[in-house]
Amino acid sequence: MPRNPKSNEEKMDRMLNGWETLRPDKSFGGMTLAQFKAVVAPSKAARARIADLDDQRMEAVAEREKADEVFLAKAQQVVNGVLADPEEGPDSPLYESFGYTPDRDRESGLTRKSSKKKPTE
């Protein structure tokens, strides 16, 4: 018997549909169709709850992304304000505390390749 949620759901639906369509008034395994539906109901309810939570999560992720866009724009304004402030600027501890590299710690970027040739063996 398959034990993954999707297969189980498909099996529930097939059994309920077949029983309702072909033999709704007959009992099987000591259960009526109504009793079997009562057995299936908690599983269906849990699946509906999971689907609802998935929708809520997707909505929350979208809200987070929108809020992050607003934050990033405002954060850039603050950083620009720190850079432009005559008492702070690009070498300030505040700028560094924001996670940026102050000018004093930046590498020049200049590299010179050695003109010496390696001896051949």
pLDDT tens digits for range 25-80 = 999 999 999 999 999 999 999 999 999 999 999 999 999 999 999 999 999 999 99
Domain annotation covers residue 12: yes
Q: Is residue 43 in a domain? A: yes
CA angle 45, 51, 57 (to 5 degrees): 135
In a domain, 63, yes or no: yes
- Can you give the residue range of the structural domain that contains 18? 5-97
pLDDT of residue 109: 73
Task: Look at residue 118 in the predicted model and tell me its pLDDT.
Answer: 67
The count of structural domains within the chain is: 1
Q: Is residue 31 part of a domain?
A: yes
**Is the pLDDT at 119 greater than 80, yes or no?**
no
Assigned domain for 86 exists: yes
Average pLDDT, the chain: 92
Classify residue 111: in a domain, yes or no: no
User: Is 120 a member of any domain?
Assistant: no
pTM for this entry: 0.64
